[in-house]
Structure 1
Amino acid sequence: MPLPKDLDPYTDPRAFYGAELRRLREAAGLSQGELGTRVFCSGTYIGQFEMAERRPQLEVSRALDEVLGSGEHLQRLCRLARTSKVAGYFADAAELEKQATSISEYAPVLMPGLLQTRGYAAALTRVSSRFISAEAVEEQVSTRMERAELLRCDTPPAFWAILHESALRVPVGGPEVMGDQLNHLTETVRTRPHIIVQVLPFSAGVHPFLNTMASLMDFADGPSVAYTESAYTGQLIDEPRLVGSYRSAYDLARAVALSPEASLALVESAAKDYSSHEYPT
Protein backbone atom coordinates (compact mmCIF):
# COMPACT_ATOMS: atom_id res chain seq x y z
CA MET A 1 0.00 0.00 0.00
CA PRO A 2 1.49 3.43 -0.93
CA LEU A 3 2.11 5.93 1.80
CA PRO A 4 -0.41 8.80 2.12
CA LYS A 5 0.23 11.67 -0.30
CA ASP A 6 2.56 9.32 -2.25
CA LEU A 7 5.45 9.98 0.11
CA ASP A 8 8.59 8.47 -1.41
CA PRO A 9 10.33 6.46 1.35
CA TYR A 10 13.69 6.79 -0.42
CA THR A 11 13.90 10.59 -0.49
CA ASP A 12 15.62 10.85 2.90
CA PRO A 13 16.20 8.87 6.13
CA ARG A 14 13.16 10.35 7.84
CA ALA A 15 10.83 9.28 5.04
CA PHE A 16 12.33 5.77 5.18
CA TYR A 17 11.78 5.68 8.94
CA GLY A 18 8.14 6.63 8.38
CA ALA A 19 7.68 3.98 5.71
CA GLU A 20 9.20 1.30 7.93
CA LEU A 21 7.09 2.33 10.91
CA ARG A 22 3.95 2.12 8.83
CA ARG A 23 4.94 -1.25 7.37
CA LEU A 24 5.58 -2.69 10.84
CA ARG A 25 2.39 -1.18 12.27
CA GLU A 26 0.20 -2.58 9.51
CA ALA A 27 1.88 -5.99 9.76
CA ALA A 28 0.94 -5.99 13.44
CA GLY A 29 -2.67 -5.14 12.56
CA LEU A 30 -2.68 -1.90 14.55
CA SER A 31 -4.17 1.48 13.71
CA GLN A 32 -2.19 4.63 14.41
CA GLY A 33 -4.35 5.29 17.45
CA GLU A 34 -3.92 1.76 18.80
CA LEU A 35 -0.16 1.90 18.39
CA GLY A 36 -0.04 5.35 19.94
CA THR A 37 -1.93 4.11 23.01
CA ARG A 38 0.58 1.31 23.50
CA VAL A 39 3.57 3.66 23.44
CA PHE A 40 1.83 6.45 25.40
CA CYS A 41 1.37 9.01 22.64
CA SER A 42 -1.42 10.02 20.27
CA GLY A 43 -2.31 8.46 16.94
CA THR A 44 -1.68 11.86 15.38
CA TYR A 45 1.88 11.71 16.69
CA ILE A 46 2.38 8.29 15.07
CA GLY A 47 0.95 9.68 11.83
CA GLN A 48 3.42 12.57 11.88
CA PHE A 49 6.29 10.10 12.16
CA GLU A 50 4.92 8.04 9.28
CA MET A 51 4.53 11.12 7.10
CA ALA A 52 8.04 12.37 7.97
CA GLU A 53 6.53 15.55 9.40
CA ARG A 54 8.28 15.14 12.77
CA ARG A 55 11.77 13.96 13.61
CA PRO A 56 11.62 10.53 15.29
CA GLN A 57 12.53 10.34 18.95
CA LEU A 58 14.87 7.68 20.31
CA GLU A 59 12.81 6.88 23.41
CA VAL A 60 9.63 6.56 21.35
CA SER A 61 11.48 4.42 18.80
CA ARG A 62 12.65 2.13 21.59
CA ALA A 63 9.06 1.71 22.77
CA LEU A 64 7.87 1.12 19.20
CA ASP A 65 10.50 -1.59 18.69
CA GLU A 66 9.30 -3.32 21.85
CA VAL A 67 5.63 -3.20 20.88
CA LEU A 68 6.21 -4.17 17.23
CA GLY A 69 8.85 -6.82 17.98
CA SER A 70 11.32 -5.20 15.60
CA GLY A 71 14.47 -5.56 17.69
CA GLU A 72 16.40 -2.29 17.40
CA HIS A 73 15.38 -1.62 13.80
CA LEU A 74 13.52 1.65 14.41
CA GLN A 75 16.11 2.81 16.92
CA ARG A 76 18.86 2.45 14.32
CA LEU A 77 16.79 4.24 11.70
CA CYS A 78 15.99 6.94 14.25
CA ARG A 79 19.67 7.72 14.77
CA LEU A 80 20.09 8.05 11.03
CA ALA A 81 16.95 10.17 10.62
CA ARG A 82 17.97 12.59 13.35
CA THR A 83 20.97 13.96 11.45
CA SER A 84 20.59 17.71 11.00
CA LYS A 85 22.41 20.74 9.62
CA VAL A 86 21.69 22.69 12.81
CA ALA A 87 23.06 22.05 16.30
CA GLY A 88 21.73 18.81 17.75
CA TYR A 89 20.13 20.50 20.74
CA PHE A 90 18.16 22.79 18.41
CA ALA A 91 17.25 20.28 15.71
CA ASP A 92 13.82 19.28 17.07
CA ALA A 93 12.84 22.90 17.64
CA ALA A 94 13.99 23.81 14.12
CA GLU A 95 11.68 21.16 12.68
CA LEU A 96 8.75 22.33 14.78
CA GLU A 97 9.26 25.91 13.56
CA LYS A 98 8.25 24.73 10.10
CA GLN A 99 4.94 23.36 11.40
CA ALA A 100 4.03 26.21 13.76
CA THR A 101 1.09 28.50 13.04
CA SER A 102 2.58 31.11 15.37
CA ILE A 103 5.95 31.71 17.02
CA SER A 104 6.46 34.07 19.95
CA GLU A 105 10.10 34.71 20.77
CA TYR A 106 11.91 36.68 23.45
CA ALA A 107 15.52 37.72 22.74
CA PRO A 108 17.51 39.06 25.70
CA VAL A 109 20.74 40.12 23.93
CA LEU A 110 20.90 38.86 20.35
CA MET A 111 18.60 39.15 17.36
CA PRO A 112 16.32 36.14 16.81
CA GLY A 113 17.81 33.80 14.22
CA LEU A 114 14.82 34.18 11.88
CA LEU A 115 15.43 37.95 11.70
CA GLN A 116 19.21 38.00 11.32
CA THR A 117 21.09 39.32 8.31
CA ARG A 118 23.91 37.31 6.78
CA GLY A 119 26.53 39.74 8.13
CA TYR A 120 25.13 39.60 11.66
CA ALA A 121 24.90 35.79 11.60
CA ALA A 122 28.47 35.53 10.30
CA ALA A 123 29.79 37.79 13.05
CA LEU A 124 28.06 35.69 15.71
CA THR A 125 29.27 32.42 14.22
CA ARG A 126 32.89 33.56 14.04
CA VAL A 127 32.83 34.53 17.73
CA SER A 128 30.99 31.46 19.04
CA SER A 129 32.97 28.98 16.91
CA ARG A 130 36.42 30.54 16.76
CA PHE A 131 38.33 27.44 15.69
CA ILE A 132 36.28 26.27 12.72
CA SER A 133 37.20 26.93 9.09
CA ALA A 134 35.84 29.74 6.94
CA GLU A 135 33.96 27.11 4.94
CA ALA A 136 32.27 25.79 8.09
CA VAL A 137 31.32 29.34 9.10
CA GLU A 138 29.73 29.89 5.68
CA GLU A 139 27.84 26.60 5.95
CA GLN A 140 26.39 27.53 9.34
CA VAL A 141 25.44 31.00 8.13
CA SER A 142 23.77 29.61 5.01
CA THR A 143 21.76 27.21 7.16
CA ARG A 144 20.53 30.12 9.26
CA MET A 145 19.57 32.07 6.15
CA GLU A 146 17.61 29.03 4.93
CA ARG A 147 15.72 29.02 8.23
CA ALA A 148 14.84 32.69 7.75
CA GLU A 149 12.99 31.79 4.53
CA LEU A 150 10.23 30.47 6.79
CA LEU A 151 9.03 34.04 7.34
CA ARG A 152 8.96 34.70 3.59
CA CYS A 153 7.10 31.60 2.39
CA ASP A 154 3.52 31.63 1.05
CA THR A 155 2.01 30.56 4.39
CA PRO A 156 4.34 31.91 7.09
CA PRO A 157 3.62 31.60 10.79
CA ALA A 158 2.60 34.67 12.73
CA PHE A 159 5.84 35.82 14.33
CA TRP A 160 5.94 38.00 17.46
CA ALA A 161 9.35 38.97 18.79
CA ILE A 162 10.15 40.86 21.97
CA LEU A 163 13.71 42.19 21.95
CA HIS A 164 15.38 43.48 25.05
CA GLU A 165 16.94 46.88 24.35
CA SER A 166 20.33 45.18 24.84
CA ALA A 167 19.81 43.47 21.47
CA LEU A 168 19.88 46.92 19.85
CA ARG A 169 22.87 48.20 21.78
CA VAL A 170 25.43 45.37 21.63
CA PRO A 171 27.41 46.14 18.42
CA VAL A 172 27.68 42.63 16.98
CA GLY A 173 30.12 42.79 14.07
CA GLY A 174 30.65 46.54 14.45
CA PRO A 175 28.57 49.61 13.53
CA GLU A 176 28.12 48.79 9.85
CA VAL A 177 26.87 45.26 10.48
CA MET A 178 24.58 46.46 13.26
CA GLY A 179 23.23 49.30 11.16
CA ASP A 180 22.40 46.88 8.36
CA GLN A 181 20.81 44.49 10.85
CA LEU A 182 18.55 47.13 12.37
CA ASN A 183 17.59 48.54 8.97
CA HIS A 184 16.74 45.00 7.86
CA LEU A 185 14.62 44.57 10.98
CA THR A 186 12.76 47.80 10.28
CA GLU A 187 12.11 46.93 6.64
CA THR A 188 10.97 43.41 7.55
CA VAL A 189 8.44 44.66 10.07
CA ARG A 190 7.14 47.38 7.75
CA THR A 191 6.66 45.06 4.76
CA ARG A 192 5.44 41.87 6.43
CA PRO A 193 2.29 42.33 8.51
CA HIS A 194 2.55 38.84 10.04
CA ILE A 195 5.70 39.98 11.91
CA ILE A 196 5.40 42.11 15.05
CA VAL A 197 8.38 43.36 17.05
CA GLN A 198 8.38 45.00 20.46
CA VAL A 199 11.35 46.30 22.44
CA LEU A 200 11.60 45.81 26.17
CA PRO A 201 13.44 48.96 27.32
CA PHE A 202 16.07 49.10 30.04
CA SER A 203 13.57 51.10 32.09
CA ALA A 204 11.29 48.04 32.37
CA GLY A 205 13.66 46.63 34.97
CA VAL A 206 13.65 43.01 36.12
CA HIS A 207 11.33 40.46 34.53
CA PRO A 208 11.17 36.62 34.32
CA PHE A 209 13.06 36.40 31.01
CA LEU A 210 15.89 38.77 31.96
CA ASN A 211 18.68 36.38 30.89
CA THR A 212 16.77 33.68 29.01
CA MET A 213 16.04 33.28 25.32
CA ALA A 214 12.59 31.71 24.95
CA SER A 215 10.41 30.72 22.02
CA LEU A 216 6.79 29.57 22.18
CA MET A 217 5.32 27.67 19.25
CA ASP A 218 1.64 26.97 18.59
CA PHE A 219 0.25 24.43 16.12
CA ALA A 220 -3.01 23.79 14.32
CA ASP A 221 -3.29 20.18 15.49
CA GLY A 222 -1.05 19.78 18.51
CA PRO A 223 -0.16 21.21 21.92
CA SER A 224 2.10 24.24 22.25
CA VAL A 225 5.78 23.83 23.07
CA ALA A 226 8.48 26.11 24.43
CA TYR A 227 12.16 26.22 23.57
CA THR A 228 14.85 27.91 25.62
CA GLU A 229 18.53 28.28 24.85
CA SER A 230 21.82 29.41 26.33
CA ALA A 231 25.39 29.14 25.08
CA TYR A 232 25.97 25.76 23.36
CA THR A 233 22.82 24.14 24.74
CA GLY A 234 19.06 24.30 24.45
CA GLN A 235 15.94 22.54 25.69
CA LEU A 236 12.61 21.78 24.04
CA ILE A 237 9.79 21.80 26.60
CA ASP A 238 6.41 20.15 26.00
CA GLU A 239 5.15 19.61 29.56
CA PRO A 240 1.86 21.61 29.53
CA ARG A 241 2.24 23.15 32.98
CA LEU A 242 5.76 24.40 32.28
CA VAL A 243 4.80 25.67 28.83
CA GLY A 244 2.00 27.58 30.56
CA SER A 245 4.52 29.21 32.88
CA TYR A 246 6.57 30.34 29.88
CA ARG A 247 3.40 31.69 28.28
CA SER A 248 2.54 33.72 31.38
CA ALA A 249 6.07 35.13 31.57
CA TYR A 250 5.94 36.05 27.89
CA ASP A 251 2.62 37.84 28.37
CA LEU A 252 4.14 39.84 31.23
CA ALA A 253 7.10 40.85 29.05
CA ARG A 254 4.72 41.87 26.26
CA ALA A 255 2.69 43.98 28.68
CA VAL A 256 5.66 46.07 29.83
CA ALA A 257 7.37 46.34 26.42
CA LEU A 258 7.04 49.39 24.21
CA SER A 259 4.20 49.39 21.70
CA PRO A 260 5.06 48.08 18.21
CA GLU A 261 5.07 51.64 16.88
CA ALA A 262 7.30 53.01 19.63
CA SER A 263 9.53 49.95 19.34
CA LEU A 264 10.05 50.51 15.62
CA ALA A 265 10.92 54.14 16.27
CA LEU A 266 13.56 53.06 18.79
CA VAL A 267 15.01 50.53 16.33
CA GLU A 268 15.22 53.22 13.64
CA SER A 269 16.89 55.62 16.07
CA ALA A 270 19.47 53.00 17.04
CA ALA A 271 20.16 52.28 13.36
CA LYS A 272 20.88 55.97 12.77
CA ASP A 273 23.24 56.00 15.74
CA TYR A 274 25.26 53.19 14.16
CA SER A 275 25.32 54.89 10.77
CA SER A 276 26.67 58.07 12.39
CA HIS A 277 29.35 55.98 14.18
CA GLU A 278 28.22 56.92 17.66
CA TYR A 279 28.95 53.37 18.79
CA PRO A 280 32.46 52.01 19.40
CA THR A 281 33.85 49.47 16.93
Structure 2
Amino acid sequence: MLKNYPKTFLLLCSVFMVCACSNRMTLNKLQDQISSRLAEQPGDFAVAFKDLTTGDTLLINDQAFFHAASTMKTPVMIEVYKQAAAGTFTLNDSFVLKNEFKSIVDSSVFSLNANDDSEKELYRHLGEKRTLYNLVYDMIIKSSNLATNMVIELVNARNVTQTMRQLGAKRIQVLRGVEDSKAYEKGFNNVTTAHDLMVIFEKMAKGEIVDSASSQAMINILLNQQFKEIIPARLPRDVKVAHKTGNISHVQHDSGIVFLPNGRKYVLVLLSKNLQKEEQAIKAMADVSEMIYNYVSNPDK
Protein backbone atom coordinates (compact mmCIF):
# COMPACT_ATOMS: atom_id res chain seq x y z
CA MET A 1 0.00 0.00 0.00
CA LEU A 2 2.88 2.39 0.71
CA LYS A 3 4.63 1.98 -2.65
CA ASN A 4 2.52 4.66 -4.31
CA TYR A 5 3.52 7.39 -1.79
CA PRO A 6 6.50 9.66 -2.62
CA LYS A 7 9.65 8.88 -0.70
CA THR A 8 9.72 12.41 0.74
CA PHE A 9 6.26 11.91 2.27
CA LEU A 10 7.29 8.62 3.85
CA LEU A 11 10.45 10.25 5.20
CA LEU A 12 8.45 13.09 6.76
CA CYS A 13 6.08 10.58 8.38
CA SER A 14 9.02 8.71 9.87
CA VAL A 15 10.55 11.90 11.22
CA PHE A 16 7.21 12.91 12.75
CA MET A 17 6.81 9.55 14.46
CA VAL A 18 10.36 9.68 15.87
CA CYS A 19 9.80 13.21 17.17
CA ALA A 20 6.47 12.27 18.72
CA CYS A 21 8.00 9.30 20.50
CA SER A 22 10.95 11.34 21.73
CA ASN A 23 8.61 14.01 23.13
CA ARG A 24 6.59 11.53 25.14
CA MET A 25 7.30 11.70 28.84
CA THR A 26 8.60 8.52 30.41
CA LEU A 27 9.05 7.79 34.09
CA ASN A 28 12.80 8.03 33.65
CA LYS A 29 12.51 11.43 32.02
CA LEU A 30 10.10 12.56 34.71
CA GLN A 31 12.49 11.44 37.41
CA ASP A 32 15.34 13.32 35.73
CA GLN A 33 13.19 16.45 35.54
CA ILE A 34 12.22 16.22 39.18
CA SER A 35 15.75 15.52 40.36
CA SER A 36 17.09 18.48 38.38
CA ARG A 37 14.47 20.84 39.78
CA LEU A 38 15.05 19.77 43.39
CA ALA A 39 18.83 19.86 42.95
CA GLU A 40 18.53 23.63 42.49
CA GLN A 41 17.61 23.94 46.17
CA PRO A 42 19.97 23.42 49.12
CA GLY A 43 18.52 20.66 51.24
CA ASP A 44 17.43 17.03 51.17
CA PHE A 45 14.27 15.83 49.43
CA ALA A 46 12.23 12.66 49.04
CA VAL A 47 9.51 11.88 46.51
CA ALA A 48 7.07 8.98 46.36
CA PHE A 49 4.49 8.87 43.57
CA LYS A 50 2.12 6.10 42.49
CA ASP A 51 -0.51 6.25 39.78
CA LEU A 52 -3.35 4.13 41.16
CA THR A 53 -4.71 3.47 37.66
CA THR A 54 -1.56 2.32 35.87
CA GLY A 55 0.64 1.40 38.80
CA ASP A 56 3.39 3.75 37.56
CA THR A 57 5.66 4.45 40.53
CA LEU A 58 8.47 6.95 41.02
CA LEU A 59 10.64 6.88 44.13
CA ILE A 60 13.44 9.23 45.15
CA ASN A 61 15.05 8.79 48.60
CA ASP A 62 11.80 7.14 49.61
CA GLN A 63 13.35 5.13 52.48
CA ALA A 64 15.18 8.07 54.05
CA PHE A 65 14.01 9.17 57.49
CA PHE A 66 12.52 12.63 57.95
CA HIS A 67 11.14 14.38 61.01
CA ALA A 68 7.44 13.72 60.50
CA ALA A 69 6.30 17.17 61.65
CA SER A 70 2.52 17.35 61.18
CA THR A 71 2.35 14.54 58.63
CA MET A 72 2.10 12.26 61.69
CA LYS A 73 -1.42 13.60 62.21
CA THR A 74 -2.67 11.39 59.37
CA PRO A 75 -1.59 8.19 61.19
CA VAL A 76 -3.19 9.59 64.36
CA MET A 77 -6.47 10.13 62.49
CA ILE A 78 -6.28 6.57 61.16
CA GLU A 79 -5.94 5.25 64.72
CA VAL A 80 -8.99 7.25 65.78
CA TYR A 81 -11.13 5.67 63.07
CA LYS A 82 -9.74 2.22 63.86
CA GLN A 83 -10.59 2.49 67.55
CA ALA A 84 -13.98 4.03 66.80
CA ALA A 85 -14.79 1.04 64.58
CA ALA A 86 -13.77 -1.25 67.43
CA GLY A 87 -16.22 0.49 69.75
CA THR A 88 -13.66 2.13 72.06
CA PHE A 89 -15.46 5.45 71.60
CA THR A 90 -17.51 7.25 68.96
CA LEU A 91 -16.60 10.27 66.92
CA ASN A 92 -19.55 12.05 68.51
CA ASP A 93 -18.16 11.64 72.03
CA SER A 94 -17.27 14.99 73.63
CA PHE A 95 -14.10 15.92 75.50
CA VAL A 96 -13.21 18.93 77.62
CA LEU A 97 -10.63 21.18 75.98
CA LYS A 98 -7.48 21.39 78.07
CA ASN A 99 -3.92 22.58 77.74
CA GLU A 100 -2.01 20.32 80.09
CA PHE A 101 -0.17 17.27 78.82
CA LYS A 102 2.44 14.86 80.18
CA SER A 103 5.93 14.46 78.75
CA ILE A 104 6.79 10.95 77.61
CA VAL A 105 10.15 11.36 79.36
CA ASP A 106 9.07 11.75 82.98
CA SER A 107 5.31 12.49 82.96
CA SER A 108 5.98 16.11 83.91
CA VAL A 109 3.24 18.50 82.81
CA PHE A 110 3.70 20.94 79.95
CA SER A 111 1.42 23.29 78.06
CA LEU A 112 1.31 24.53 74.48
CA ASN A 113 1.86 28.14 73.45
CA ALA A 114 -1.05 29.36 71.33
CA ASN A 115 1.31 31.67 69.44
CA ASP A 116 3.20 28.63 68.14
CA ASP A 117 0.04 26.88 66.96
CA SER A 118 -1.45 27.33 63.49
CA GLU A 119 -4.92 27.10 65.07
CA LYS A 120 -5.54 29.49 67.96
CA GLU A 121 -9.30 29.52 68.40
CA LEU A 122 -9.45 26.41 70.60
CA TYR A 123 -7.29 28.10 73.23
CA ARG A 124 -10.08 30.62 73.79
CA HIS A 125 -12.46 27.84 74.74
CA LEU A 126 -10.50 25.83 77.31
CA GLY A 127 -12.86 24.10 79.69
CA GLU A 128 -15.55 23.76 77.04
CA LYS A 129 -16.38 20.53 75.24
CA ARG A 130 -15.71 19.53 71.64
CA THR A 131 -16.61 16.31 69.84
CA LEU A 132 -13.84 13.94 68.89
CA TYR A 133 -14.76 14.47 65.23
CA ASN A 134 -14.22 18.22 65.59
CA LEU A 135 -10.87 17.66 67.28
CA VAL A 136 -9.75 15.36 64.46
CA TYR A 137 -11.03 17.82 61.86
CA ASP A 138 -9.07 20.71 63.39
CA MET A 139 -6.01 18.47 63.78
CA ILE A 140 -6.01 17.80 60.03
CA ILE A 141 -7.28 20.85 58.19
CA LYS A 142 -5.89 23.51 60.55
CA SER A 143 -3.07 21.36 61.94
CA SER A 144 -4.15 22.24 65.49
CA ASN A 145 -1.47 21.16 67.95
CA LEU A 146 -3.85 21.43 70.87
CA ALA A 147 -6.35 19.10 69.22
CA THR A 148 -3.52 16.77 68.24
CA ASN A 149 -2.23 16.36 71.78
CA MET A 150 -5.71 15.69 73.08
CA VAL A 151 -6.32 13.05 70.42
CA ILE A 152 -2.95 11.36 70.91
CA GLU A 153 -3.57 11.21 74.64
CA LEU A 154 -6.86 9.45 73.89
CA VAL A 155 -5.61 6.85 71.39
CA ASN A 156 -2.02 6.39 72.67
CA ALA A 157 0.96 6.99 70.38
CA ARG A 158 2.10 3.36 70.72
CA ASN A 159 -1.17 2.19 69.21
CA VAL A 160 -0.68 4.58 66.29
CA THR A 161 2.73 3.10 65.50
CA GLN A 162 1.44 -0.46 65.86
CA THR A 163 -1.37 0.25 63.42
CA MET A 164 1.14 1.66 60.94
CA ARG A 165 3.05 -1.63 61.12
CA GLN A 166 -0.13 -3.56 60.46
CA LEU A 167 -0.76 -1.42 57.38
CA GLY A 168 2.72 -2.11 56.02
CA ALA A 169 4.29 1.21 56.99
CA LYS A 170 7.42 -0.19 58.61
CA ARG A 171 9.28 3.02 59.40
CA ILE A 172 6.70 5.56 60.54
CA GLN A 173 7.24 6.13 64.24
CA VAL A 174 4.78 8.12 66.34
CA LEU A 175 6.18 8.53 69.83
CA ARG A 176 4.56 11.66 71.20
CA GLY A 177 2.41 14.71 70.77
CA VAL A 178 3.58 18.21 69.92
CA GLU A 179 5.95 20.51 71.85
CA ASP A 180 7.15 17.91 74.33
CA SER A 181 10.46 19.73 74.78
CA LYS A 182 11.99 17.17 77.15
CA ALA A 183 11.39 14.42 74.61
CA TYR A 184 12.75 16.60 71.81
CA GLU A 185 15.95 17.29 73.75
CA LYS A 186 16.47 13.54 74.15
CA GLY A 187 15.88 12.92 70.44
CA PHE A 188 12.49 11.26 70.89
CA ASN A 189 10.87 12.48 67.68
CA ASN A 190 8.16 11.32 65.35
CA VAL A 191 9.67 10.18 62.06
CA THR A 192 8.46 9.05 58.68
CA THR A 193 9.56 8.09 55.19
CA ALA A 194 8.04 9.05 51.87
CA HIS A 195 7.48 5.37 51.11
CA ASP A 196 5.48 4.73 54.27
CA LEU A 197 3.22 7.73 53.74
CA MET A 198 2.63 6.51 50.19
CA VAL A 199 1.64 3.10 51.58
CA ILE A 200 -1.02 4.44 53.92
CA PHE A 201 -2.47 6.91 51.42
CA GLU A 202 -2.71 4.21 48.77
CA LYS A 203 -4.62 1.98 51.17
CA MET A 204 -6.88 4.88 52.11
CA ALA A 205 -7.56 5.66 48.45
CA LYS A 206 -8.51 2.01 47.90
CA GLY A 207 -10.83 1.97 50.92
CA GLU A 208 -8.62 -0.49 52.76
CA ILE A 209 -8.07 1.38 56.04
CA VAL A 210 -10.58 0.12 58.61
CA ASP A 211 -13.29 -0.11 55.91
CA SER A 212 -14.40 1.77 52.82
CA ALA A 213 -16.70 4.11 54.76
CA SER A 214 -13.97 5.06 57.24
CA SER A 215 -11.45 5.56 54.44
CA GLN A 216 -13.86 7.86 52.62
CA ALA A 217 -14.63 9.78 55.82
CA MET A 218 -10.91 10.44 56.32
CA ILE A 219 -10.51 11.48 52.69
CA ASN A 220 -13.39 13.93 53.09
CA ILE A 221 -11.59 15.58 55.98
CA LEU A 222 -8.28 15.71 54.11
CA LEU A 223 -10.00 17.32 51.11
CA ASN A 224 -10.69 20.37 53.29
CA GLN A 225 -7.02 20.99 54.05
CA GLN A 226 -6.39 24.72 54.46
CA PHE A 227 -2.67 24.73 53.70
CA LYS A 228 -2.20 24.46 49.95
CA GLU A 229 1.27 25.80 49.17
CA ILE A 230 2.79 22.58 47.81
CA ILE A 231 0.85 19.75 46.14
CA PRO A 232 -2.27 21.72 45.06
CA ALA A 233 -0.52 25.04 44.44
CA ARG A 234 0.00 24.74 40.69
CA LEU A 235 -2.77 22.28 39.81
CA PRO A 236 -6.02 23.18 38.00
CA ARG A 237 -8.96 24.10 40.22
CA ASP A 238 -10.97 21.05 39.19
CA VAL A 239 -8.26 18.76 40.57
CA LYS A 240 -8.99 17.77 44.18
CA VAL A 241 -6.29 16.96 46.72
CA ALA A 242 -6.85 15.11 49.99
CA HIS A 243 -3.64 15.82 51.84
CA LYS A 244 -1.78 16.66 55.03
CA THR A 245 1.13 19.05 55.23
CA GLY A 246 3.83 19.37 57.85
CA ASN A 247 6.50 21.92 58.66
CA ILE A 248 9.00 22.86 61.31
CA SER A 249 12.20 24.86 60.98
CA HIS A 250 14.00 23.90 57.74
CA VAL A 251 11.39 21.21 57.01
CA GLN A 252 8.45 21.31 54.58
CA HIS A 253 6.25 18.32 53.73
CA ASP A 254 3.08 17.50 51.85
CA SER A 255 1.44 14.12 51.30
CA GLY A 256 -1.86 12.82 50.02
CA ILE A 257 -4.13 11.67 47.21
CA VAL A 258 -4.75 13.63 44.01
CA PHE A 259 -8.11 13.18 42.26
CA LEU A 260 -8.43 14.12 38.57
CA PRO A 261 -11.80 15.09 37.03
CA ASN A 262 -11.71 12.00 34.79
CA GLY A 263 -11.69 9.67 37.79
CA ARG A 264 -7.98 8.89 37.82
CA LYS A 265 -6.13 9.31 41.08
CA TYR A 266 -2.60 9.08 42.36
CA VAL A 267 -0.67 9.29 45.60
CA LEU A 268 2.07 11.87 46.01
CA VAL A 269 4.43 12.43 48.94
CA LEU A 270 6.97 15.28 48.98
CA LEU A 271 9.31 15.56 51.97
CA SER A 272 12.22 17.89 52.69
CA LYS A 273 14.74 18.74 55.39
CA ASN A 274 17.86 20.85 55.95
CA LEU A 275 16.33 23.61 53.85
CA GLN A 276 18.15 26.91 53.63
CA LYS A 277 15.65 28.80 51.52
CA GLU A 278 12.24 27.50 52.51
CA GLU A 279 10.11 29.69 50.23
CA GLN A 280 12.12 28.66 47.19
CA ALA A 281 12.01 25.03 48.26
CA ILE A 282 8.23 25.19 48.57
CA LYS A 283 8.02 26.57 45.03
CA ALA A 284 10.29 23.81 43.75
CA MET A 285 8.14 21.14 45.40
CA ALA A 286 5.00 22.73 43.92
CA ASP A 287 6.71 22.54 40.52
CA VAL A 288 7.37 18.84 41.10
CA SER A 289 3.70 18.33 41.86
CA GLU A 290 2.81 20.06 38.59
CA MET A 291 5.28 17.88 36.66
CA ILE A 292 3.67 14.74 38.05
CA TYR A 293 0.18 16.02 37.29
CA ASN A 294 1.22 16.73 33.69
CA TYR A 295 2.65 13.23 33.41
CA VAL A 296 -0.54 11.58 34.66
CA SER A 297 -2.94 13.80 32.72
CA ASN A 298 -1.05 13.67 29.41
CA PRO A 299 -2.64 10.93 27.28
CA ASP A 300 0.33 10.91 24.87
CA LYS A 301 2.97 9.98 27.42
Identify whether the pair has TM-score above 0.5, normalized to the shorter chain: no
TM-score class, shorter-chain normalisation, is under 0.3
Report which structure shows greater RCO (CA 8 Å, sep ≥6): 2
Richer in strand (by share) = 2
Give me the TM-score of the superposition, normalised by structure 2. Answer: 0.21
Give me the TM-score of the superposition, normalised by structure 1. Answer: 0.22
Between Structure 1 and Structure 2, whose CA radius of gyration is higher? Answer: 2
Richer in helix (by share) = 1
